[in-house]
Amino acid sequence: MRSDRRKTRGTFDLTMRHLARSFPKDMALLSLGRKADRVRTLSPDLPSTERRADWLAKATVGHETALLQVEFQTRYESSKVLDSLDYRVQARRQYRLPVFSVFIYLTSRGYPGPGQNRLEETVFGQRQLLFEWSEVRLWELKAAEMLQLGASGLIPLVALARGKTPEQPLTLAVDAASKVSDNSAKANILTAIGVLASLRYPKDLIFSFIRREAMKESSVAMDFIREGLKEGLKKGRQEGRQKGRQEGRQEGRQKGRQEGRREGELIGEIRTWQRFLGQPITSRTQLEKMSLENLREMAGRLKKEEISHRK
């Protein structure tokens, strides 16, 4: 269950990271509660730690410049606080700038209530640590007021905000996306709505508002495919090394690596094509039981369906 939750969460994180990279000023506006004069996305990878922020940026408001460290959460997880603190220290050391930390909660799942956004540690009667961070709780924001900000990058998040009726936020988000003049940006925004809205609405309702064809040019969808293939390649290498060790011979190790790598690539490819086409996603366990030949056949069929879908 925990593994499935991480994979699902990864889809939402990927969508939010794409929005942040594409609309950095809009994401800074949501994070800070005011407009930034300049925002530049930075690599979240730091040489001193394996931890990564979901989004790291350099933001300037007036005469003040700081790092913006943002974490996107589909549910509240207390363990993320120490991870965020650790990353904050490393980012401060790397860039020698103050850090503004913020958690953007997409849903209220597990949320303990306001006033919990601080970590205080008192040792031997003295306060040794105080870490406070900002929070954005989407379910508390009003959908109509978010649209009044005129920030295209926040349109997908409107679907998770408050409305006068349960379906109003989704309707407002799709209507706003349909008015975006740039077709590529429109496709990306509609795809992001389709992904994020699934945290709140059933898929059949979502796709009664959004035509799948409208998302076919989306670079967000292509990110899903690249991410899935990357995951498949990583697993394939692990499988290949394991098979090679079991073989115990140089030839066996080479063959195991090659076959395992290809198997992993195909599994990642199949699952991401299924996600993109809106089909039921076959479990990894089921796919691992299939022969390499059957995996190739299934991947080829899905690829043909995707090509047909784009025409």
Domain end (from 124, 140, 156): 140
Contact 218, 188 (CB under 8 A): yes
176 and 64 housed in the same domain: no
Structure tokens at 87: 């990353």
Per-residue pLDDT of 39-63, as tens digits, reads 999 999 998 888 889 999 999 999 9
Residues of the chain with confidence (pLDDT) below 70? 1-10, 212-259, 261, 273, 275-278, 306-311
113 and 200 housed in the same domain: no
134 and 15 housed in the same domain: yes
Number of domains in the chain: 3
Q: How many helices (DSSP H) and strands (DSSP E) are in the chain?
A: 12, 7
Structure tokens at 188: 């990306």
107 and 54 housed in the same domain: yes
* CA atoms of 57 and 269, how far apart (whole Å): 31
279 and 233 housed in the same domain: yes
Q: Quote the pLDDT of residue 85.
A: 95
* CA atoms of 258 and 158, how far apart (whole Å): 45
155 and 128 housed in the same domain: no
Q: Quote the pLDDT of residue 212.
A: 61
User: At CA 39, angle to CA 52 and CA 12, rounded to 5?
Assistant: 45
200 and 237 housed in the same domain: no
152 and 33 housed in the same domain: no
60 and 118 housed in the same domain: yes
231 and 280 housed in the same domain: yes
> How many angstroms from the chain centroid is the CA of residue 162?
22
> Which residues constitute the domain of residue 196?
147-215
157 and 86 housed in the same domain: no
* CA atoms of 189 and 180, how far apart (whole Å): 9
Domain end (from 140, 158, 181): 140
Asked whether the whole model's pTM tops 0.85, one would answer no
* CA atoms of 170 and 197, how far apart (whole Å): 7
Q: Quote the pLDDT of residue 157.
A: 98
Domain end (from 140, 173, 195): 140
Q: Quote the pLDDT of residue 34.
A: 95
197 and 134 housed in the same domain: no
